[in-house]
Structure formats: structure tokens, C-alpha cells
Amino acid sequence: MQLAAIIVSLVLIAIGFALLGRAVLQIYQHMRLGQPVPKGTRTDDPVRRTVTVATEFLGHTRMNRWGLVGVAHWGVALGFFSLLITIVNAVGQLFKADWLLPYIGEWLPFELWVEFFATTTTLGILALIVVRQLSKPGKPGRKSRFAGSNFGQAYFVEAVILIVGCSIVTLRGLEGAQHGVESYEAGYFASYPLVAAFRGLSTETLQNLTYLVAMIKIATSFIWMITISLKTDMGVAWHRFLAFPNIWFKRESSGDVALGALQPMTSAGKPIDFEDPGEDDQFGVSQIEHFSWKGLLDFDTCTECGRCQSQCPAWNTGKPLSPKLLIMSLRDHAHAKAPYLLAGGGKSAEGEEKATEEQLKDVPAAALAEAERPLIGTLEENGVIDPDVLWSCTTCGACVEQCPVDIEHVDHIVDMRRYQVMIESSFPSEAGTMLKNLEKKGNPWGLAKKQRLAWTKEVDFEVPVVGKDIEDLTEVDYLYWVGCAGALEDRAKKTTKAFAELLHMAGVKFAIMGGDEACTGDSARRLGNEFLFQQLGQQNVEMLNMAFGESAEGEDGAEGVKVEKSKKKIVATCPHCFNTIANEYPQLGGEYEVIHHTQLLQHLVDEGKLVPVTPVEGLITYHDPCYLGRHNKVYTPPREIIAKVPGLRNEEMHRHKERGFCCGAGGARMWMEERIGKRINNERVDEALSLNPDIVSTACPFCLVMLTDSVNGKKNDGKAKESIQVVDVAQLLLESVKTPVEPEGDGETTAAPEPDPEPVK
């Protein structure tokens, strides 16, 4: 038994380490096939990055949002690395059954360590096995977050962990029996029942059992190592190693997820100059090798857990997009095409092969065939990613927010869109109208500039316009960025007027840009038209800097006037405008202090400048706009305002805050028709109506439009009560802040009436 155990174990160890070394080299070579990233963007602030990795791993800060699953995974993940030293102990036991590690083998803290993590690993993997079985796709279908995952690979990994965990506990029991443990000891708190069971066996039997169990532990561990070394695209196994660099190299050195701003377009690791682009500049991604090395690392790190899939509004409404399956498809394609690329293969922009026949002669036929597949293409075209998958994304960020290994799904989707829009001119036809309107009129509706001021004639106070009523913004506290929807869309205009009236009542000095204000370019950028975004953004930044009294350097080299960021205050009612100006305009030279209107209103209420007094009766539920919540972490102010309004009873929908469900308008989906599956706004409204609310509230004009459309449709179908309202938080606050008036006659006190809501057109 001992000889067999030694031979089997040592052979597997030798093969395992040899293949592992080759696999690590292969993965490194695969990563090098990707494009470089701008210098310093992934390596800045190394200390903080290291702290982030330690925090996310040791504290499992992202996994522990999932309750039992997070705790179970913590035990398995830490147990894997903590118990690696027990393999050394098992090797020693092959040669001497009662062998223990020198110095620490009988040290109580070490014994407690091994007992604890052997237990958490075993119990943790049992819990995860049960969770996977309860969530098998065969029963709930698409609702399972494991739908589409590689179950065979997952079962293999789970079996390995369970066998290793049980082997460690068993070896601990055999150690206790051989070392004369006669009664319960703290160092054997988990394995003592086995110690008692083995205590009556003969020395020879104990030794043979030790050889056998040690061999099982070692063989299982190294069969696993050999398997993953031969299959480097096995994300369910490799993520436990690749997660560390993937988290360390994440986009935000602060540790935040890759949401908020989109990254500027780059080619060969350098930002593209849109005023004078290079002849060889690559616009977006059309081949797997056009992704950055970090993108390729993202694909390999996916553990197929499906948390992104379970939260994705597209997947949950019957559309073909699953963030998990998209990443898996890109990973599999990258690995299948790698031999061709490593041999020097590749296509020029004109589609010509870069490598010679001599270079490609040893490339497997499968890799050559994979190289011919279009990255974006239909099933008939044998595409890697179907166009319907690409255009189903709302860029809500739920996938990025939930991913435990910090994969940057939204950035990769937008990079692929950029090529489709800017080079192929291939995108949903309805979006073309929006793009033309932005180019010609500066707003998605194609309305005249003068109509941006129409709403100011509907309020009973003066709204100062920069350049007309005031010279510049040094005369006011805030620039109110109204936005296209807030100025031109009838439902959103109610929010605009309510917010402006609240500012007026609170004595806050503000001004607007009026006709000079153009679209921020949010929809154009997320659709993939980076060039149009750059045009609109540069135009707005120059206009804003001038309005704040800042001037650029003169032609003669004279130094321009600079204004501190803290003195350039902007408030926006649209989260998309808020996100773009705050997070993306700095890329264009526009540094401003930007807040959302709910943040300012909460501040004014807290200061006592706005006092909600009139009750607004009814049950209310609040919908989190994705670009306010997930992208910018603004969850509390709207809820604080609602809580201050007397009479309102707030009840949260099941999916709220970080797990809030999209309205369906983000990612330029506002301008595209939903032709597949259930409409996302209907799914969200169904969730809201399940609470039987009187009011559905939000804080975004896009959300307001989408939710109102759905609610009105359900009213017409008799599925929603006629009295239900969809309003912005600002409208609720204004209704409550208005002082009750004393009517003539009976002396009863009633609140000042609000105008009836306009019918949805």
C-alpha cells in the first residue's frame, strides 16, 4: 500500500507541476495577444489596489451580498489556499504514517487553523452543491443563474473540493489516533469523532489507512491540476487564480466597480485624437485581438456563477443577452483562435491576411476556421456574438455591480458597438433618427433650440438665462442643466418646472443655458458613436467653461483664466446628464462640481429652506434610476425626501438599490424599439403594481417616460387602477412644500390645487 501510494502520488505531482508551468505560460501568451492599455491606467496607486484585493478576498465583500452562498464560498476560497500546506503534510505521511510538519505540526494554533478550514471547506462545498442542484436549469429554465454554465466542469471542481476536504478531516482523525489522543482536545474539535472511531484499530491498519487517504488527497489535488492545465479556458477552476490579478488591475484604483464614465476610445494603447486620427487607428473592436489584455483577462476570469445573468434586465425579459454567456463566448473564441494569432495570423482593416502560408502551416484547422468567424454576426454568418445580443444591452451596470471578480462587461459591449456604428454603420434603424437629430439640432427629438426655453414661460417667476439675463455664472449659486428631456419632453418638463419652483422658493440663485445647451451626448456614446459624443462634449465644455468665466490660453501664448472646480457648480435633474458632465466631461477638459437634483433638494430640506407640511396621502414605491443609483451610488437622497413628506408610506420593490431593475431606456435603448421578449418597462411596472401603490416615483426623465408609458398601457388594459400616478420626487416635494390656502366661504383649509396631469401622447 505504501509503495503504491508513493509511486502514484509522486508521478501525479511531477506531471501536475510540469503541465501547470506550461499552462501559466500559455495564459500569459494569450494575454499578450490583447492590445496595450494607456500607460498607468491599470497600475496607478499600487498600495490601494493591493488593499482592494486583500479586502475583496479576505472579507469576500462582493460575495457576501448573497447571504449563505457568500459565507459558504468564503469557507471554500480561504480553505483552498489555507490548506495547501496540508499537501506537504500528506506527502510526508506517505513515507512515515505518523509524520507531522516540523515545529508547527503539534502547535495548537496551527491545529485549530487546519480543523477550522477543513470544516468550512467541506461544509461550504456541500452547501454550494445543494444550491447548484436547487438552481439547475431543468426546473426554472432561464430564471436559473446557472443556465448556460458548464455543469460537467462545475461538478468536477465541486467533487475535487469535497474529496480533499473530507480527506483532510480523515487524516486529522488518523493523526490523533496514532499520536495517542485519548480524550477530546481543542486541536481536534472537528475531527475528534474520527479519532475516537480509529482509536481501536491496529497500528498497521492505521498506517495503511493513512497511506491510502494521503494518496487520495494528493491524487485528487493533482488530477485537478493536470485537468485545468490541459484546459486553460476552464473558468470555473482558473478563476481562483486569475481573480487576484483581475481585481488588482481593475479600472478604478479606488476599488470602485467599472461604472459611471465610459473609457475614451484607444488604439494600440493610446487615446484616439478625433480631430486628427491616425491612419492605422482602430475604432472599436471587430476582432478578439482588438480587446485589451485586460479584456482577455476578464474573459478568462469568468467563473460562470451567473450573478450577472440573474440581474440582467435583458435576460430576465426573454432577450438573447446574458452577460455571462457573452463573456463565455468571447473567452472560448479567444482560446480557439489563439494558435492562429500566436503564429502571427491576423487580418488588416481591408481583410488581408498578415501572416504568410509558411507561418500558418502548423496551425490547427480548427484555429484557422475560428479565425474566419466574424466577431459580430448572426447564426447564419457563424458570428461569435449575435447583433441582437449586442443591442439588447441597456448599460444599466447590474452585471458589473454583481460580478464577484470585477469583470467589466459594459466597457466591452460598448467597444464592440463602437466598431459597428462608426465603421460598419450597422445598428438598429430607429437609432439613426436620434443620431441625425443630435447632429443637426443638438437634441434627440430634432426640435428647434428656442423650444428649450418654452417651459420658462409656464412658471410665474423669472428664470435667468446665461448671456441674456446674466453675464456669466459667477452671479448665481448653480447652473441648472435642464437637459434635452427636461426642456423638450412634456412629462419631464413637469419635473423641470417643479424643481425650478422649489429652488425659487428656497431662495437658491440659479440660471440655465437655454438655447445654448446641447445634448450631453450620453445616448450617442453608449450607442457607440464616440465621434458624435466628442463633438457634442467639446462644444458643451467650451460653452460651460466660458459661462463660468474661464478662458483658454490665447493665441499669443498668454495664460488663460482658470476657475476652481468647486466654484463651477452644476445641478441636473437627468442622471444621464449628471453622469456625463460629472464623470465623462473631465476627459474633455471640463472639471465641474455636479450634483443631482435630489441631492440638492435633500440638502435644502435638511437646512429647513424647504419644509414639507402638506400631507400627500398614499402608498409609494421608488424606482432607482440606473445612472443615478448603480453608476453613481446615489440611493439615499430620494428616499430621504420621500420620508420627509407627511402622509406617504414607502414600500420598496423586491429589486431595489444595488439590485434595482432597469426601466429599459439606458444604453440608447430609449430610442430603439423592443421587439424581442417582454418590454423591460412592463416587467418593472408589474413589480411595482404587485405592491398596489398609489404613487410610483423616480428621479430620472427617461425612467419617468418609460414607467408612465407602461402604467398608462396597463390602465387601458384594466390591469392598473386609474388613480395611480408616476411622478418625480421633486413633484412630490413641491406638492408638500406648498402652503395650504384658506378658501373663501366655509373656512376649511385645503392645499393649493395642482394642475391636472397632461395625458400621455
What number of other Cβ atoms are within 10 A of residue 654's Cβ?
Answer: 9
User: Are 261-272+283-350+358-427 and 612-737 equal in CATH topology?
Assistant: no
pLDDT of residue 739: 67
Residue 644 has pLDDT above 70, yes or no: yes
pLDDT of residue 407: 97
Per-residue pLDDT band at 275 (split at 50, 70, 90): confident
pLDDT of residue 753: 43
Distance CA(578)–CA(545), nearest Å, equals 17
What's the CATH fold of domain 261-272+283-350+358-427? Answer: Fumarate Reductase Iron-sulfur Protein; Chain B, domain 2 (1.10.1060)
Distance CA(13)–CA(15), nearest Å, equals 6
**pLDDT tens digit string along 454-488?**
999 999 999 999 989 999 899 999 999 999 999 99
Distances in Å between the Cα of 485 and the Cα atoms of 292, 368, 667 are 35, 49, 16
Distance CA(293)–CA(281), nearest Å, equals 17
**pLDDT tens digit string along 416-437?**
999 999 999 999 999 999 999 9
Give the mean pLDDT of 648-657: 95
What are the domain boundaries of the chain? 2-32+48-247, 261-272+283-350+358-427, 438-552+562-604, 612-737
pLDDT of residue 350: 74
Average pLDDT, the chain: 92
Which span out of 94-98, 739-743, 749-753 was modeled with the highest average pLDDT? Answer: 94-98
Task: Look up residue 118 and give its amino acid.
Answer: A
pLDDT of residue 357: 87
DSSP helix/strand/coil, 620: strand
Give the mean pLDDT of 41-66: 92
Residue 221 has pLDDT above 80, yes or no: yes
pLDDT of residue 741: 53
Residue 433, CB-side half-sphere exposure with 13 Å CA sphere: 10
Per-residue pLDDT band at 750 (split at 50, 70, 90): very low
> Lowest-confidence range among 23-37, 373-387, 517-531, 547-561?
547-561
CATH number of 612-737: 3.40.50
Residue 233 has pLDDT above 70, yes or no: yes
Look up the pTM and report it: 0.93
**pLDDT tens digit string along 437-457?**
999 999 999 999 999 999 999
Give, in degrees to the nearest 5, the angle at Cα 555 between 549 and 561. Answer: 25
